[in-house]
Amino acid sequence: MRQPRIWLAATLALCLGARAEPMKVAVTGTGGQTGGHVFRKMLRRPELFSPIGIARTERSKEALLEATGAAPEQVVVDIGLQQSTTMYSGNDRQCSAVEAAQEPQGNAGRALAGRCAALVIGSSAKVKPTGGTNAETGRPNMGFPDGQPYLVDWLAQKAQIDAAHLAGVGHVTICSSMGGTNPDHMLNRFGRTTDGRGGGILLWKRKAEKYLIDSGLTYTIVHPGGLLNEPGGKRALVVGVDDKLPTESRSIPREDVAEVLLQSLLQSDYRDRSFDLVAEPEGSGEVCTDFASLLQSLQGSSCDYSLGAIPDRELAAGRNRIGGR
C-alpha cells in the first residue's frame, strides 16, 4: 500500500510545521457544504486558525482549491475513507461487520489529527436519487450511493475519533443532526430496503456521538435543524436539548452552523456539550453575535443519550452495511 504511506508521510510533515498561535484544525467533509463553510471561515481568520481540509476525492479537492484559493497543501484527500467506501458499499463484496470495523479507515483523520489541536467532523452519508421511482409513493428512489450511514456516520466517524484520541487531539466537534431522540424519525427510513437493510442515519450518528462522549476527549456535538443555503450572520440563533426547542423554527443556514462549529473551539462554555441548534427567520429576534453567551439559556444542560436508541450490535450493523441503494 505505497500510496497511503506516501500520503501519510506528507501529511505528518505538514502537521509537524510550527504550531504557534493559530490553532491547527483538521476539518473533514470539506468538499461538502457545511464542512466547506467551516474551512472557508477558518481560512479567513488566519490569526486564529490554520485549517487542514480533508476531502473525499481528488475531484472534491480540486473544486475546493478552486473555490477557496487555499494552498494545495491545505487540502488532502482522505484515501482511507475513499478506499473503505469503495470496498464496503459495493454489492460485489460481502464481508462481516467485524472485518469492516478493523479496516484502517480514517487514515486522513488519524494522520492529520497528529499535531492538530482539534478535529471538526463534517463528513456524513449523503442522500441522493438512485434512479427510478418508488411505486408506492411515486417519488424518486433515494439512497446512499457514496456509502451507507453505517459506514460513513458510524465506522468512519469512529475511526476519526479513535485517530484523534491516539494523537492526543484536544477537542473534537461533530456536526450531527436534530431528530436523534426519535428512532422512528423519517430520516432513518432513507435508503432502507423493504427487508430492513441500510439507512438509519440518525441512529448511526447517535452511536458515533455517544462513542465520542465516552472517549474522554473534549467534545462538542451540534445538532442542527434542517439546513438552508442562505447567508449566515443574519438571524437569531436558538439552542435546545433533546429535540425540544423554545421556537417553532426547525431550520438554520449552513453558514450559521459552521460559525457555531468554529466557535465551539474558542468558547469554553461549548466544551463537553451536546445541543440542538436552529435559527429564527430573518428579521425575527436579535441577530446572534455573542457566541460566548449562546448556550447560557441551557443552564448547563446537554442532550441526554439515554433517550432515543443507539444500535449496539455489530451484527445488526452488518445488515445495514450493504443494500438500501
Ligand X SMILES: NC(=O)c1ccc[n+]([C@@H]2O[C@H](COP(=O)([O-])OP(=O)(O)OC[C@H]3O[C@@H](n4cnc5c(N)ncnc54)[C@H](OP(=O)(O)O)[C@@H]3O)[C@@H](O)[C@H]2O)c1
Residues that bind ligand X (CB under 6 A): 29, 31-35, 55-57, 60, 81, 85, 122-126, 146-147, 152, 156, 175-177, 224, 226-227, 254
**CA distance between the termini of the chain:** 29
CB-nearer residue toward ligand X: 147 or 318:
147
The active-site residue, picked from 84, 89, 124, 177, is: 177
- Grid coordinates standing for 114? 497528529
Which residue lies nearer to ligand X by CB, 35 or 296?
A: 35
Minimum CB separation of residue 177 from ligand X in Å reads 3
Report residue 265 as a C-alpha cell: 473551539
The 3-state DSSP class for residue 191 equals coil
Cβ closer to ligand X: 22 or 309?
309
| Minimal distance, residue 112 CB to ligand X, in Å | 14
**C-alpha grid cell for residue 88?**
464496503
What are the grid coordinates assigned to 273, written together?
Answer: 456539550
Q: How far is the CB of 126 from ligand X (least distance, A)?
A: 4
Least Å distance between CB 321 and ligand X? 12
Helix axes 201-215, 156-167, angle to 10 degrees: 10
Residue 156 Cβ, how far from ligand X at the closest point, in Å?
6
With 0-12 / 13-18 / 19 or more C-beta atoms within 10 angstroms meaning exposed / middle / buried, residue 178 is buried
Cβ-contact 323, 197 below 8 angstroms: yes
Q: Which CB atom, from 22 or from 128, has the smaller least distance to ligand X?
A: 128
Give residue 277's Cα distance to chain centre.
15
Judge whether 89 counts as a catalytic residue: no
Nearest residue (CB) to ligand X, 22 versus 146: 146
105 versus 293: smaller Cβ distance to ligand X:
105
In the bound state, the residue with its beta carbon closest to ligand X is: 32
Instruction: List the grid coordinates of 5.
Output: 504511506
Phi, psi (5° rounding) for residue 321?
Answer: -65, -45
Q: Please state the closest distance from residue 80 (CB atom) to ligand X, in A.
A: 9
Q: For ligand X, which is the closer residue by CB, 155 or 288?
A: 155
Q: Which three cell numbers stand for residue 248?
A: 417553532
| Rounded least distance, CB 103 to ligand X, Å | 13
Lookup result for grid cell 501529511: 11
Q: How far apart are CA 122 and CA 27, in angstroms?
A: 7
Smallest Cα–Cα separation from 173: which of 241, 260, 293?
260
CA distance 154 to 139: 28
Asked if residue 94 lies in contact with residue 322, where contact means CB atoms within 8 angstroms, the answer is yes
Contact 38, 120 (CB under 8 A): yes
Active-site residues, by number, are 177
